[in-house]
C-alpha cells in the first residue's frame, strides 16, 4: 500500500466518523433537549 492510499483512506475514515458523531449528537440532543426543558423551572 502506498502512502497516498493510506492518506485517502484516513481522510475518508475521519469524514465518516465526523458524520457519525454529528448524527449521534443530533439524535441524542433531540432526546435530551425536551427533558432538559421540562426539568428547567418555568420562568
Please count the residues of the chain: 43
Q: Is the sign of the CA dihedral 9, 14, 20, 22 positive or negative?
A: negative
| Predicted model pTM | 0.50
| Nearest-angstrom CA–CA distance, 31 and 42 | 19
pLDDT (tens place) for every residue of the chain, 43 residues total: 566 677 777 788 889 999 999 999 999 988 888 888 888 776 5
The per-residue DSSP string of 18-38 comes to HHHHHHHHHHHHHHHHHHHHH
Q: What are phi and psi of 41, to 5 degrees?
A: -65, 135
SS3 15: helix
Amino acid at each position: 500500500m502506498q502512502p497516498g492510499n493510506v492518506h485517502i483512506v484516513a481522510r475518508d475514515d475521519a469524514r465518516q466518523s465526523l458524520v457519525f458523531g454529528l448524527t449521534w449528537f443530533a439524535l441524542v440532543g433531540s432526546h435530551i433537549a425536551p427533558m432538559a426543558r421540562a426539568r428547567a423551572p418555568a420562568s
